[in-house]
Homo-oligomer: A and B are copies of this chain.
Amino acid sequence: MISRRRLAFPLFGLFFAAQAFAQGDAAAAGPKVEAPASVPQYGMFEAKISGLPAGTQNVGMIFNRQDAGTAKLIEGFRDGDIWRVRIMPMNRGKHEYTISADGNWSCRGNFEVTAPAPGMHGPVRVKNKYHFAHADGTPFYPVGTTCYAWLNQPESVRKQTVETLSKGYFNKIRFCIFPKHYVFNEKEPDLYPFLLKEGSEKEYDWDYTKPNPAYFARIDEAVETLGKLGIECDLILFHPYDKWGFSRMPAEANDFYLTYMAARYSAYANIWWSFANEYDILKDKTVDDWEHYAALIQEKDPYDHLRSIHNCVPFYDYTKPWITHCSIQRQDFYVCAELTDQYRRKYDKAVVLDEIQYEGDIPYMWGNIAGPELVRRFWEATVRGGYATHGETYVGHDGVLWWSHGGKLWGDSAPRLKFLKEILYQTPGFGLRHTNQEWDDDAACAEDDPDYLLFYFGRNQPKYRDFNRLDPNASYHVEVIDTWNMTIDDRGIMKGRFHLELPGKEFTAIRVVKVKDK
């Protein structure tokens, strides 16, 4: 069976032509293919083809697992003088492939898909409707951050960013493919995503058919490096903060760019597609445009990576079938995380609050809340069955602000978010949901199965609680969590109905887990 993915040349013609050429010219001078003989599952198999004629328009690869008899067709992309075809093997075993170019050259080969590298679990998918898991079933609980333009910064800052990210605070990062022009972002980038039109003397007169190999090599390296750190890359395809024209490219350039992005990045397990940051500020793009972009990526991405789109003010219609999860910017300065469960009910999808004001001290309200408030919002989102994303905007560090440039973190929230991430990974299954568990007039609490409960009191500071609604015949393991000081106070086993003394301070949580074997 041939997959429904389409190439720009006729499929059956290609296939027979490929065989003929490969048999006849295998040893002759001409195109050269470099490809590995083996690749781990969920890793990336890349074939590098050099020596193709300059006018080559399309390069593709058909591959199948020998014992399965299915075949998939993958588009390659031009990278300067060479072409690359990338796949992410989803199944172990012997695979064979045919690479061909414009229907007049092809070659065959094979590779072995081995066990995944340690920590590799494959791309993240929606699981349990409101939550996420990797392809191999391992749960993924997003605790994200944002460094919009970190790849447009000097090498020293990029290195520092990776070093910071290697500390394990976050498992997801949002960043832009295109450079960013905005407050605190007024320097020219050292590289641009496209080459200039040859011979043109106009400023920023890009040849949109020529992606800049160095620019995208940097993104490749970043995605790969972050993948090894267990970090998902939420790739922002368009954004409005632009002085170079990338937010207003012609329609055919947008299509080329998206096709290119799909061909180049789909084979990385750790990417998500974010169609826009603040789509509603991109005034010359219509909903039809966004729907078209989404359809194009859906068609071109063989692995069906997660897809969403991020607002400035009005939400995009998250009920659209192509949207895998909400990627929300708060619509209010005061409540957002508190609405997580409402958003879940409204959109019936996973809720990721990708912008809930950043920890920092810039003059703008979107970037100057204190660490405790940001951490509180994360916990509030968590016990309401959703996820949130960090950002940091402290001035006074040589103009390097994490939210856009990366670098170092100066705030207080990151270690607390790592602590929250650990708590999430200790939950029994795929996520939490909000429940009115113990008190009608109470803090949010959460559960995913009725025997696991996580209460969070935020800015409320009860000195005690009486648990009156648990199973009176059951035993519960009770822990009092100080979400700010990152301590877990084990209170031992309590019988069904009990009185619990609490510290009487803000940011307290309680974990109550039914003892199953007794």
Contact = CB atoms under 8 A, between A and B. Distances in A.
Contact of A461 (B368, B466, B504): B368
A359 to B, nearest CB: 9
A364 B439 contact: yes
Contacts of A365: 439, 441-443, 460
Question: Interface residues of A toward B: which range?
Answer: 20 to 34
A335 interface: yes
A369 B463 contact: no
A439 B363 CA distance: 9
A334 interface: yes
Q: How many copies does the complex hold?
A: 2
A461 B506 CA distance: 19
A79 interface: no
Contact of A335 (B335, B439, B466): B335
Contacts of A463: 361-363, 368, 394-396
Interface string A414-451: 00000000000000000000000001011100000000
A460 B368 contact: yes
A466 B363 CA distance: 8
Contact of A462 (B334, B362, B462, B506): B362
A469 interface: no
A90 interface: no
Interface in A326-369: 332-335, 338, 361-366, 368-369
A243 interface: no
A338 B334 CA distance: 8
Contacts of A465: 363
A373 interface: yes
A462 B505 CA distance: 26
A392 B368 CA distance: 30
